[in-house]
Structure formats: structure tokens, C-alpha cells
Amino acid sequence: MFYREAGQYKTSYKADQAIFPIFQDRMAIVFYLLVAFVAIPYFGSDFFITSMMIPFLIFSLAAIGLNILVGYTGQISLGTGAFMGVGAYACYKMTSIFPDVNIIILIISSGIFSAAVGMIFGLPSLRIKGFYLVVTTLAAQFFLEWCFIRVPWLYNYNDSGAIEVPQREALGVIVTGASATPTTRYLIVLAIVVAMTWVASNIIHGRIGRSWMMIRDMDIAAELMGIRPLYAKLSAFAVSSFYCGVAGAMMVFFWLGAAEVESFDVNHSFLILFMVVIGGLGSLVGSFLGAAFIWILPVILRAIPDTIGLDINAATVEHINFMIIGGLIIFFLIVEPHGLARLWALAKQKLRVWPFPY
Amino acid sequence: MFKKLILGTAAVAMLSGAQMMSASAEDMHYVPSLSYRTGPFAGGGIPVANGFSDYMNMLNARDGGIGGVKIVVEECETGYNSQKGVECYESTKGKGALVYNPMSTGITLQLVPKAPVDEIPVLSMGYGLSATAIGEKFPWGFNYPTTYWNQLSSILKYIDSKGGIKGKKIGFIYLDVGYGKEPIPLLDKLATSMGFTTAKFPVGVKEMQSQSSHWLNVRKERPDWMIMWGWGAMNSTAIKEAAKIKYPLDHFIGNWWSGADADLRPVGEVGKGYVAANFSGIGTDFPALQDVLKHVVDAGKSQVKDKSLVGDVLYNRGLFNAVIVAEAIAAAQKATGKKAITGADMRVGLETFDLSAARLKELGLEGFAAPVKASCSDHEGAGSVFLQQWNGSAWEKISDAIAPMNDVVRPLLEEAADKYTADKPDWKTQSC
Amino acid sequence: MSARTAADIAVGEDLLHVDDISLSFGGVKAIQNISFNIVKGEIRAIIGPNGAGKTSMLNVINGFYHPQEGTITFLGEERRKMRPYRAASQGISRTFQNVALFTGMSTLDNIMAGRSLKMHRNFFWQMFRYGPALNEEIEHRRAVEEIIDFLEIEHIRKTPVGQLPYGLQKRVELGRALAAEPSLLLLDEPMAGMNLEEKEDMSRFVIDVNQQFGTTIALIEHDMGVVMDLADRIVVMDYGKKIADGMPKDVQSDQNVIDAYLGVAH
Amino acid sequence: MDLLFNIFVSPFIEMVTMPDFLLQVLWEGFVSGTLYALIALGFVLIFKASGVFNFAQGIMVVFAALTLVGFHAAGLPAYVSLVLALAVMGFLAWGVERVVLRHLVNQPDLILFMATIGLSYFLIGFGELIFGGEPKSMITEQLGLPTGSTTIEIFDGIVILQHLDIAAAAIAAILVAGLALFFSKTRIGRALRAVADDHQAALSVGISLNQIWAIVWFAAGIVALATGIMWGARSDVSFALQIVALKALPVLILGGFTSVPGAIIGGLIIGFGEKLFEVYWGGLLGGGVEGWFAYVIALIFLLFRPQGLFGEKIIERV
């Protein structure tokens, strides 16, 4: 009843071309932001912030990155984990070399390195399509993983081959390292994710985003309409890898605190792909929903047997979790290929016409 | 829906926060066990986790816990994955956790910097960051009874005792992750001082089960001895491949994570002669293990699939880990005079317990392991290792305890500790 | 670079001509030694039985296929082969035999997509959707709305095109091609599979485009009635060869054409 | 200069001066190539008949082997376990067709591909739930597979041939020959090829697509079981195998997705190339290059010949 667009007339194309043309949607965004920026830091427990919100936001950003490639441009990639790694290692090297530069600037600029690497491995996409691309992105994944192990310069010749986050301050507040408070880290991650989501949304709704979708929907027609596949595909690879790189850098600097190569292995590529598929291909909201779902599901699954007093061991829960995720992937692909995002849209649609069925 | 999700999870989190408060009450020793019963390394993770929780359950059943307070072991599945490990840590630390046993070098690396902040000690028994042995630099990190570096020096001493090491070529095959790479600096250092050459063969996690080219390289390099830092499925594959190229297995020495029954049982007769290091007893011929069988396994309170798995190498390793934790809890109770202790008290316990030969006998574990004496500056105990050999169906102890080269290792550990703390301005140290 | 633009060419002069084009796939000869011209302002039809090579001919003109022999001259510039990007940027746009819309996007976005080449704001402005990028977006939205009005598809503006009926999809596709403001519009069977009413609508749009915007049109069509009414001049192809070229009434009475359609043995 | 020497000269000197060792390297390459080819064969069967790029083939290998070992551990004789494992794979094929494929007819390839990733996750969870996560040893002897080795003295050195490896090569050959016969001589085989050529046309002449898919997944299951036995006997049966199984992807790129001989030749190329490169050149890069060598070769290959060794040039239409 309250979610109605009736009576909201657009008097300019500018208003109609806005990203959220409906008033209530704009209000909802403001509400979510208030919850995220004010309520959660104020009420959330440390565990909730560090183990749920921070990873959720970071994975959402990575999912947005992958969604740009898979959902918007139609190029499948299994190299997400490695691209995240490039961002993380780049950031680590930069802060070792320039310890005085603000770490947040370095986090953002580490995306440039992953974007460059992403473009190199995106080059084959000009000649090959579909799951042939899976192999080239797997090549990126395994080759980069090997580099993270075999190039000791990348981890400053650390004995155990791990990168350990040094303590850094920004504006006089400790933001990285074990002494940084969860709330500080959360707020920085949140600010970066919100800003980058806004930018992603702008790009997608503009000329460049349209050229990606043209390539996705009908690459030949797009080419005949003057879209150069080289530009469109490589820009998608670059932007996508940029997002993944920043997500990877944040993962190490604001969440894990230390990382080995296994934090960027192929399983992460799968995990992020699942978030995109379950959340909804070609949807930013879906990226958040998918990340929330995949990340929070196991936590809830673990809590259920406890709450109802069943004694199921941790391993069994983990196995069941795998089965459920696998099953859900198939379920969503069969029943709702547009993922949670579509369910979300349907719910909004129902709300719009409530109390009438349609 | 999104909103509901967020609010729902927020509610769950708040509730569990409330639970945490009540859970940290005075009636238990809460010890999280970051186990891995899934994933590629589950073969090693399962017996370790079983040994750990079975011993604690035995103490509960036989003695009513430690100092009259029951022990609660909560397992959290990590799958040997650092991210899940951190998540487990975050989800359990608020419940009054006394000590963390990460069971993985990768997870240890994540937890070492968090330990002083949350004031919960980390005990990585025979794995993890070797440098945490330096108590002055790492007040909250422990790796009793000994470190990888000590172990390597003991193994090299053994080789030296078998016909000299000078001028020999030592092959080092290792799992290509933090764990496997950890001993390399020492190996290189000792190569110059002891006068041997090295050849290194990294095995990536993905190649664990197809090592034929690594062993072709071994054949090409012709090392006189082989040392292995392997884990999980890598071990049995390596031993099979070694046998295939007819490498003399009695010149092939695994570290203490490469010498489990689970590794050698699939190899069987082919693996006869293979040598591995160990620091915890073999078999069930110890009163304490009989108690475990009686109070836990026979009572159906254990997760072991088969009774015969009790007493195997990794089961006993996990059990020994539990022994150290239990001793430290007891020591902490003694030192603070409190029955229920905190993580900070536990740290004191970990610096004061004394697992002497007499104490081991008292515990029903005579000869199970070398004595370990805790101290403020020495967080590893500098324990010795012994070597065991596979006879085709079981392990046999073939050497006495071999003391490590403390004089060489300690300065290196100190150097590594300095390097670790160098870029951490606020790192908390202590003076002993 | 091309010395001339479409505006430099007077109505009635050659806009495009192809000379001696031959195209083969492996051993199959799709087009053999075809030459014809398209003059500015006309509606040129290419007809012929199935498999005559008509679509291949359009593909050659806008550079999707590269002929083994022959040249293409567009705006006075002679080329061995066309590149799709050059063709599009010089003002050739087209529709497809099997609707090739961007099915995941709305009608509005599809037609906006047609204006891709006219939008230039760089990545930086795009990121913030502000200033020049937003102005550009809105300016093009205005142009797109004119096309939407022209084609009478206001009501489906925000519908994803995948959900539209076939006839409307064809219309959106025409709109998308028009959005590029082409100097040469290639239509590949714009009326295939339509009922009579839809065909009439579409014919009206084609004529309006030609007359209101002065757009030169080359179209492939099977419906002889439509072709004879619409086209100024007709090329007839059969088995990859040109068998006739001229005014509708001349072509209609050409013996070769009658044979081709009635299937006389070669 | 040194570097160039190490790249272009010294490996070849080593090859010539130690010919027995070179032979051993080639033999190892041949054996792993055979195993890659076997996994790739499973992919090809399914791709040919249903156009599905079955990511789960690797996990099917593990699952099949685990089932076999599991039945045996439960006290059944080896051959009975083998038959039962086959039955399980048949049931799996039927289930996959029923639950997954049937509902995804006419979906884009990528959707089907992702569905098989979902399937592989499901199977990992299911397999670990039932059989546990620890590695198990293959019942090599109980199945009557040879275990010893033969040492050939040649060029003043030795080449060691494992009997098991010889058996693996032989079984692979028999499987390929059997499948070739099945495809060319039986009614189902012909129907299968018809489906591969054109789904619609096959349907219109009364071939049941569902039946064909179930059969082809079953055939892939048989290949998976054979692969699992061979690989399991060489190392262990554990879930770590699934990563190795991904190597079948570059094999397919080389051989083409629809060609059975392509899978075999692609597998052998990768097998030989990877061993030679790792042994003679890997040291220059610090070792461990086997993990990515196959993929990078495939990537380079794709840039020059996207359709694979045996594929035909693709003509695009609008």
C-alpha cells in the first residue's frame, strides 16, 4: 500500500533516467544506509561485524566485479580468486614500499594492478567464446597462484610465504592490523563498497554498461552497430578485475590480517561465481543478496542444530552445506535463472499492487 | 527480503551475544578445537581432532574435569581453510575461550597477531610460526613441545650419525604452502655450516596426488637422503613414488606430519623402511590411553570410526596436544588460585607448567613423549624428537630422543622474531 | 579517412557500389562476381529465392563477411573489404533476418544502444554519471524518444524486449537501426513472418523513413507485392549470381527472373 | 647468455647424455597422458550427446572410486563392489537426467555449465557425508590388477615400468575401442550420433532424448569409474583428485570438445609436454610449473587455433 509509484510523474528525461526513479526506492536506500552506517556499528557485536558484515561486504564487492563480467558482459571467468590475489599482493607491496601513503588510497589503487592483469588474461576473449574462456581464466588462476608462491619478492621473502598486514593509520586512527577495532575496519569497508557500488551502477547505466550488455546479448549485432569488441570486452575485464582486486586487498587488510596463497585459490573463484548465480546474473542488488546468502547460510546452518538441541558434528554440517549450495545452484538455474534478485523484484511488484493480487 | 535478512541475522547475532555472556560462566573450561574433518587434508585432521577431544572427555569422565571444572571442547570445522579458521575464531572467542589450537599453519599465522589483542593464547603444537618460540617477542604464542626448525636440526643430526652428512646431497620435498616452506631458511643455513648441498622439490597442493615428475627430478638429482615436509594425501603418494623409482626408503625421512598410520596404511608393504620423525608415543600401551578407551571410546562418546584407530600416530598427537592444554590449565589454576580461569590466566599456565618425566608417569603416559618444561622466554620447550620406521604394517621406534641443535636454531628464531615484529610498532613484548 | 560524408553526395548519385564481389566458404560459392550500385535517396531491394546469397551480400556490405574478390565503394572510398566498425561509424546500419535484439535490455535501452557511436563521454564522467555524461545521456534520450514516437511504441518503452511479440520486436529493431541516424539502412527481411496488417504498418514506416529522413534503404524481402510497391530499383540474385537489375516493372517481366522463381532447370 | 644456454642447450644435452632417463620421462608422460585422456573422454561423451560441458566429471571420478572402495569396505567382494559401483553410477546418470538436464533443455550453454558446477558441489558434500573425507586406498590387488614393476636395462641405465601403468594404458585402449564399437555398431550408438548432430532432427525421427542422455551419462560414469580405479591405484582415492581432473579442460581445448581421438591425442600431448617441461625446464622457473603448464599451452593454442586440433572452422551467421 505504501509502495506505490502512482502520482509520481516525471517531468524531465533527467528524472526518468535516474537510477532510482521511484521515491520509495530512494527512501529505502537511505534507510539501508542508515542501518549500515549507524545501527550496525552501534548495536552489532564484534563477531557479527568481523565475521559476518565485513566478509559479506567484501564478497559483495567481488561479486559485483564478477557480475560485471559474467552477468553484464556474458564472459565467464573462474579466475576471480587470483584477481583478488593480485589486488592483495599489489597493496601489500605498495604499503611496504610507501609506508607513509594513506592505506585507503593504496587499497583503491591496488585495483589498477589487477585491472591490468585482468586485461592481459582477457585478451583471448576476443577470439574465443563461452566455456573456452573458462580455460583461459583457469590458466590465469593457476599461473597467478604459482606466481604468488614462486616470486618471493611479492611477499617480502617471508619465511612462510604469507603476507602479514602491517599496522597502518589513516587520519590518526589505526585502520589495519590486529589493533584496529572491528568498527573502524567495518566502516572503511562499508564506505568503499558503497562508493564503488554507486560507481558501478553509474557505469552500467551509461554508454559503457550498455556496450557490455550488447556484447552479452548479441555480440555480432553489437559489432555491426559499431561496438568494438576489443574495447567492450577489455573494459569489462578491466573494471571487473579492478573490483575484484580492491575486494582482495580489503579481504587481507581489513578482514583476514594475513594471507597465504590458499586465500586466493580456485575455490574462491567458485564461491564468488555461486554468489553471482544465486544472487542473479546482471544485477547489482543480486550481488549483495548472493553474497549474503552464500556467506550467511553456513553460519545459520551451524546454528540450527544447536538451537533445536541436535548434536550434529561440525563436519556433517559442512557437508550438508556443500550439498545445499550445490542443490540451490541447480534449483535456481532451473526455476529462477535470474536468481534472488528476481525474487526481490517480484516481492517489490507484489508490494506495489498490494492488497490486490495484480 | 534483504532487509529481513539483515535484521534477522542482526537478531541472531545479538542473541548469540547474549548467549556468550551466560556461557562464560564459572562452570567450565571452554576450549575450542579448530578441527578439519573435511577437505583434502581431512585424513590428517580427523585423528588429531579425535585424539584431542577424547582425552578431554576422558578427563571429564574420569576426574570430573580439571580442578573440578568440566572441560567443554567445541569443534569448529575449518576445512584447513584460513578464512573459515578466522571465522571459527571470531565466533568462539567471545565464549571465554582459554586457548586456540589452530591445527593449521595458515590459521596460526592469522591468529598470532590477534592473540595479544583478545588476550587468548595460541598453542600451535609442532606447527605454525617457528618464531613464536621466542617468549619475549611472542607472549601469546606457543609451540610446545618443539618447532619445525628444531625438528629439522634433529633429523639432520640423525643423518650425520648415519655415515656423516658432509659432502652429501640432501633432497627436500615439501608441500608448497607456508607449512612446507617454513624450514627452508634453516636448511640453507645448515647446508653451509654442516657442508652438504640441497635440492628442493616443491609439491603444489594441486599436484599432491600426481608427483611423478617430482620424483623424476629426484631421480635426476640423485640426492643421498630425502627429507619430506608433507601433509595429507601428499605423503602416501610420495612414498609410493619413491618406491617406484627404487629410492632407498630407509634414506627417506618424513617430518612428524608425514609419518602417520593413515599415510602408510594405504602404502602397506611397499613403504617398508620409510622413516619419520615423531614426538608422541605410538600405540595404546599407556594407562592414560586405556582410560580413554574405557571411559570414552567404549562408552560410545568418541567420534572414532573404529576402535583400532585409537593409538595411531596422529590420534596420539592430538591427545598429546590435549595433555599440554590440560597441564597448562592445571598450572594456571595453581598459579592464580582460581578454579575457573581466563585466557590471560591460561597464558600464565602455558608459561609455568612442567611436564616432567615424573609427571608424565603420574598421568599414565610414561615414555609417551620427551618431558616439556615451560618457561617465560622459551615457548617451545626445545623438545626432542625420535625416529620411527615403517615395517610394512606398523611403526617401530628406531632411535632415542635426538636433541635439537639449540645453539644454531635459537639465534635464527630470534632473528625471525625480530623480523616479524619489525613493522608492527605497537607489538606487545615482555621481558623474562 | 573518407574524403566525403553522406551530406556531400547529391540525391541520385552513387552512395555505394560493389564491384565484382565473390565470396566463398570453403568450397561453397555464396556470391559470384556481383556488381551493383545504390544511389542516394532510393529504396533498393535485393530479391531472390532462398539460398541466393542475399543476406551474405548485406554481410559483405557492412563488413561482417570479407569477400575474396571485388571492391566496395562507399562515400567515394574504394575498399577491398569493409570492417564492421567502419561501416557503422560511416553510417551503415541494419536489421537482421532473425531478430537480433539485445533481449536482456528494455526497448529504451535497445534503441539507446543504437546511438552508441554518437556517445563519447569518457570513462571518468561515466563513473560519476555527472556533468557531461549525464547531459549526454539525457540529450540522447530525447532523440530516442522521437524515434519511439515515430514508431508508435511508447507503451513498451520499459519492457524487456525478450517479452515482446515478434511484430513489435521487428519494429524495435528498426528503431534501433534508425537511432544511429544512418545514411544507408540495410533491412534484412523486415516483414518476414508478419500478418497483413503488420506488413502494412512496417511498409509505411519504411516509406516514411525514406521520405521524412531521406534515408537511403537497401532491403531484402520475399513478399513480391511489397517489394514491387516499395522499391525504386531491384537486384535479383539466384545461386550467388546477379540475374537481373532494374525498375520493378522491368524485373517483373524478365525471363531469367521468372525462370528462377518458377524453377527452370539450369 | 647463461640463461639462454640453460633454456636452449643444456636440457638437450641432458636428454642425450641420459637417454634412459629421457625414456623414463616419456613413459611417465605417456601414463599421465593416458589418464588425462580418460577423464577428457568422459567430458567428450557428454558434450557430444548433450552439448553439456560437464564440470562434474572430475568429481564423478572420485565419487565412483569412493563408491567402489566403500562397498568393499562394507565387506563385499571386490567384483560385487565393482558391479554395485557401476549400478550407482547408472543411478546417478538417471538421476542427473531426471532432476537436472530434463529441466534445462534449450538453456544457454553457460547455464548448463554452471548447473554442473552445482552438481559437483552437491556430489562433494554427498560423497564426504557418506564416505568421510579421509583418503582411502584403492583395492588394487582385490580387483586383480597387477602391482609389480619391470626394470628394463637400456643405454647403460634403467627404465622402470609399473605393471599397473601398463594395465592402465591397456584398459584405456580397451575402453576407447569399446566405445567406438558401441557408437558405430549398436542402435543406441547410432541414435547417439544422430542426437549429437542435431537435437531437433533426432527428436523428429523418434529418438528419445532423455534416454540418450541418461545412457551417455552412464557411459561417462563407466569411464569415470575406470579412471578412478587407475588413478586411485597410483595414489589414493581422495577428494584432492578433483583438482587434477580439471586438467582435462586444456586437453579438450587441444583435442576439440567433440572428438574422441582428439581427447586421446590432446591428453598425450599434455602428458608428454608437461613432464618434459617440468623435468628439463621447470627448474629454471623454480619448479612446480606442472600446475599451470597445460592451461597456458591451451591458452596460447586458443589464440591461434580456437577450434582445436580437430575441430572445423566455425562460420558465424546472422
HEC string of chain D equals CHHHHHHHCHHHHHHHHCHHHHHHHHHHHHHHHHHHHHHHHHHHHHHHHHCCCCCCHHHHHHHHHHHHHHHHHCCCCHHHHHHHHHHHHHHHHHHHHHHHHHHHCCCCHHHHHHHHHHHHHHHHHHHHHHHCCCCECCCCCCCCCCCCEEEEEECCEEEEEEHHHHHHHHHHHHHHHHHHHHHHHCHHHHHHHHHHHCHHHHHHCCCCHHHHHHHHHHHHHHHHHHHHHHHHHHCCECCCHHHHHCCHHHHHHHHCCCCHHHHHHHHHHHHHHHHHHHHHHHHHHCCCCHHHHHHHHHHHHHHHCCCCCCCCCCCCCC
Q: Using a threshold of 3 CB pairs under 8 A, tell whether chains A and B touch.
A: yes
> Within an 8 Å CB–CB cutoff, is residue A301 touching chain B?
no
Task: Report the gap between the CA of D316 and the closest CA in chain C (Å).
Answer: 9
Which chain B residues contact residue A283 at CB under 8 A? none
Q: Summarize pLDDT for B256-275 with one digit per residue, the tens.
A: 888 888 888 878 888 899 99
Q: What ipTM was predicted for this assembly? A: 0.84
Cite the beta strand spans of B259-345 per DSSP E. 275-278
CA–CA dist D215, B278 (Å, integer): 51
B188: DSSP letter? H
Reply yes or no on whether the pLDDT at B12 is more than 60: no
Q: Check CB contact under 8 Å for D298 and A130.
A: no
Chain A residue nearest residue C96, CA to CA: A221
3-state secondary structure of B198: strand
Q: Which of B181, B184, B208, B213 to mutate to test the interface with D (most CBs of D within 10 A)?
A: B213
pTM of the predicted model, to two decimals? 0.87
Facing residue for A344 by CB, picked from B1, B16, B110: B1
Asked if residue D287 has pLDDT above 90, the reply is no
The per-residue pLDDT for B5 is 47
- Helix, strand, coil percentages for chain B (3-state, nearest 5): 50, 15, 35
Fold of D2-304: ABC transporter involved in vitamin B12 uptake, BtuC (1.10.3470)
C25-60: per-residue pLDDT in tens? 877 888 888 999 899 889 999 988 888 888 888 889
A303-354: per-residue pLDDT in tens? 776 677 666 666 787 788 888 888 888 888 888 777 788 788 777 777 766 6
What would the mean pLDDT of D156-170 be, rounded to a whole number? 82
- Chain A's closest residue to C104, CA to CA, is A217
Highest average pLDDT, of A62-71, B19-28, C106-115, comes from: A62-71
Q: What is the reported pLDDT for B2?
A: 45
Is B38 touching D (CB cutoff 8 A)? yes
Q: Do C180 and A217 touch (CB under 8 A)?
A: no
Average confidence score pLDDT of chain B: 84
> What's the whole-number average pLDDT of chain D?
81
pLDDT band at A114; cut points 50, 70, 90: very high
Domains (range + CATH), chain B: 27-146+283-383 (3.40.50.2300), 148-278+387-410 (3.40.50.2300)
Q: Of A205, A207, A225, which has the smallest distance from its Cβ to C114's Cβ?
A: A225
Q: Tell me the domains of chain A and their CATH numbers.
A: 45-353 (1.10.3470)
In this predicted model, what pLDDT tens digit does every residue of B77-136 receive, in sequence order? Answer: 888 888 788 888 888 888 888 999 988 888 888 888 888 888 999 998 888 888 888 888
Does D250 score more than 50 pLDDT? Answer: yes
Do the chains contact at B75 and A313, CB–CB below 8 Å?
Answer: yes
B348 to B30, B328, B336, B427: CA distances (angstroms): 17, 8, 9, 19
Q: Does C90 touch chain D (CB under 8 A)?
A: no
> Mean pLDDT over residues B308-325, rounded?
89
Residue C266 has pLDDT above 60, yes or no: no
Q: What percent of chain B has pLDDT over 70?
A: 94
Question: Which domains occur in chain C, in start order?
Answer: 1-91+217-266 (3.40.50.300)
Task: Give B 151-180 residues with CB within 8 A of chain A.
Answer: 176-179
Cβ(C171)–Cβ(C147) below 8 Å = no
Domain limits, chain D: 2-304
Q: In whole angstroms, what separates CA C97 from the centre of its chain?
A: 10
Q: Give the three-state DSSP class for B88.
A: helix
> What is each CA distance from A66 to A59, A236, A271, A280, B22, in whole angstroms?
10, 10, 11, 12, 42
- Give the pLDDT confidence of D7-22 residue by residue, as tens digits: 777 777 777 777 778 8
CB-CB neighbors (< 8 A) of A276 in chain D: none
CA dihedral A46, A48, A49, A53 (to 10 degrees): 170
In sequence order, the 6+-apart residues with CB closer than 8 A to the CB of A121 are A79, A136, A137, A139, A140, A237
CB–CB contact C116 A214 (8 Å): yes
pLDDT of A210-239, one tens digit each? 899 998 888 888 888 888 888 899 999 999
Which of B10, B37, B185 minimises the CB distance to A48?
B10
Please, which pLDDT band fits residue D315 given cuts at 50, 70 and 90? low
D126: nearest CA partner in chain A: A323
State the nearest Cα–Cα gap between D190 and chain C, in angstroms. 28
Q: What does the pLDDT read at residue D266?
A: 87
SS (H, E, C) C138-165: HHHHHHHHHHHHHHCCHHHCCCEHHHCC
> Can you give the pLDDT at residue B14?
45
Chains with 3 or more CB pairs closer than 8 angstroms to D? A, B, C
